[in-house]
């Protein structure tokens, strides 16, 4: 099997020193982040930078424009003024998987052997070609252990690590993005975890996909990646309006010269969101119908496409639960150098990078 169980792919944040630089290489943006402090002393946002990638620089998790990505990682690091070269790298896409599972009681070695054996049936891209890791959550009611299994294709891990290496960064940790978001949630909402005892849905609306996670009792209990994101809206605006991709993206986000969205754009956005809402509801209903979990009462949203007009209201109407924006700054203090506009953008688009930057050596 390619790669033994490695602690880098899935983990809980544990107290230690030497924070890493969070590097989130998404399909639309490069984001880098540096925090100071930690669990005991509270985190502080010190540095953050992000740059847009050109169209189709990354498709799903396949790197198409390697030199551009490397150059923009370097630019982001320089722009932020980051001197630390040790990084935590986030992964997404169809070549990654997160699965909560139960294993029999046993020694660490016996648990690891059982997970390796069971992983064959859960990893669609092949356990033999993957790096696999796990984290033991604790005892379950059946007398065994609850664990989080996480895996990524070996060649995907290597190709993204090479991007950092060629950008003069040293990848110390590789983590699947939804787990970074889970770790950030635990810190940012540490005082409200009791309110979320029935579970909370956390939805990341990205450029090429939408990630749905249900968090309960200290860990994700359900993760689903839906291959629909904001870039599909941009492409449809581009096609219907005869614009370049960048101009279509600008029109979708900022509206026309008056700051209003043209009726044609509203129609495109609504059609896309309605389809996406249906897929989200199907995913949540599938989970609830195949488990003994209580109905959800809360949902937090993040990601660049989460600010699309009408998204919060539409999602609340569909799910019939309270929906609000994920706020990482409930517990993470920003340094004085950030404007309110920058902080709003980081809260919307930088949550995975923040979660990665919580990792330490």
What is the rounded distance in angstroms from the CA atom of residue 101 to the CA atom of residue 83? 40
CATH architecture of the domain with range 191-330 = 2-Layer Sandwich (3.30)
pTM: 0.92
What is the rounded distance in angstroms from the CA atom of residue 24 to the CA atom of residue 72? 12
Phi (first) and psi of residue 305, to 5 degrees = -90, 0
Q: What is the per-residue pLDDT for 330?
A: 96
Strands 21-25 and 86-91: parallel
Q: What is the per-residue pLDDT for 40?
A: 72
Q: Could you give the count of Cα atoms lying within 13 Å of 357 in the half-sphere of its Cβ?
A: 27
What is the rounded distance in angstroms from the CA atom of residue 7 to the CA atom of residue 28? 28
- How many Å separate Cα 164 from the centre of its chain? 18
What is the rounded distance in angstroms from the CA atom of residue 117 to the CA atom of residue 268? 46
Please work out, in degrees rounded to the nearest 5, the angle formed at the alpha carbon of residue 207 by the alpha carbons of 206 and 208. 100
Q: What is the per-residue pLDDT for 2?
A: 36
Strands 219-226 and 298-302: unpaired
**CATH fold group of domain 1-187+334-361:** Nucleotidyltransferase; domain 5 (3.30.420)
Q: What is the per-residue pLDDT for 290?
A: 84
Please tell me if the domain spanning 1-187+334-361 has the same topology as the one spanning 191-330. yes
267, 308 Cβ separation under 8 angstroms: no
In tens digits, the chain (361 residues) has pLDDT values of 333 333 445 566 554 457 899 999 998 999 999 999 987 789 999 999 999 999 889 988 899 999 999 999 999 999 999 999 999 999 988 999 999 889 999 999 999 999 989 988 999 999 999 999 999 988 988 889 999 999 999 999 999 999 999 999 999 999 999 999 999 999 999 999 989 988 999 999 999 899 999 999 888 999 999 999 999 999 999 999 999 988 998 899 888 888 888 899 999 999 999 999 999 999 999 988 888 888 899 999 999 999 888 899 999 998 899 999 999 999 999 999 899 999 999 999 999 999 999 998 7
- What is the CB neighbour count within 10 angstroms for residue 163? 21
Nearest Cα to Cα of residue 245 among 233, 255, 229: 233
Domain ranges of the chain: 1-187+334-361, 191-330
What is the rounded distance in angstroms from the CA atom of residue 226 to the CA atom of residue 303? 14
The per-residue b/e assignment along 170-201, b for 16 or more CB within 10 angstroms, e otherwise, is ebbbbbbbbbbbbbbbbbbbeeeeeebeebbb
> Does residue 322 sit in helix, strand or coil?
strand
285, 277 Cβ separation under 8 angstroms: no
- What is the CB neighbour count within 10 angstroms for residue 87? 28
């Amino acid at each position: 099997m390619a790669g033994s169980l490695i602690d880098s792919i899935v983990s809980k944040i544990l107290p230690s020193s030497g924070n890493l630089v969070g590097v989130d290489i998404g399909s639309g943006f490069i984001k880098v982040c540096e925090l100071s402090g930690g669990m005991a002393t509270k985190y502080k946002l010190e540095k953050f930078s992000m740059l847009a990638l050109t169209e189709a620089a990354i498709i799903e998790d396949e790197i198409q424009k390697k030199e551009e990505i490397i150059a923009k990682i370097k630019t982001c690091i320089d722009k932020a003024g980051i001197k630390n070269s040790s990084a935590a790298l986030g992964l997404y896409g169809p070549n990654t998987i997160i699965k909560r599972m139960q294993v029999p009681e046993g020694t660490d070695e016996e648990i690891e052997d059982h997970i390796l054996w069971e992983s064959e049936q859960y990893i669609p891209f092949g356990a033999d070609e993957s790096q696999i890791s796990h984290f033991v959550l604790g005892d379950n009611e059946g007398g065994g252990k609850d664990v989080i299994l996480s895996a990524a294709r070996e060649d995907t891990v290597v190709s993204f690590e090479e991007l950092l290496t060629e950008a003069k960064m040293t990848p110390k940790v590789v983590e699947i993005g939804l787990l970074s978001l889970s770790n950030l949630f635990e810190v940012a909402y540490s005082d409200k975890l009791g309110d979320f005892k029935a579970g909370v849905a956390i939805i990341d609306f990205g450029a090429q996909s939408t990630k749905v996670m249900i968090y309960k009792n200290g860990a994700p209990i359900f993760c689903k990646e839906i291959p629909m994101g904001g870039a599909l809206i941009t492409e449809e605006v581009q096609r219907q309006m005869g614009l370049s991709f960048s101009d279509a993206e600008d029109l979708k986000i900022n509206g026309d010269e008056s700051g209003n969205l043209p009726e044609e754009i509203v129609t495109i956005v609504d059609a896309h969101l309605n389809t996406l809402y249906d897929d989200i509801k199907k995913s949540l209903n599938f989970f609830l119908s195949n488990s003994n979990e209580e109905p959800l009462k809360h949902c937090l949203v993040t990601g660049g496409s989460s600010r699309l007009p009408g998204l919060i209201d539409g999602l609340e109407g569909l799910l019939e639960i309270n929906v609000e924006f994920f706020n990482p700054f409930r517990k993470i203090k920003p340094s004085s150098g950030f404007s309110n506009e920058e902080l709003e953008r980081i809260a919307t688009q930088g949550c995975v990078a923040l979660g990665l930057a919580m990792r330490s050596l």
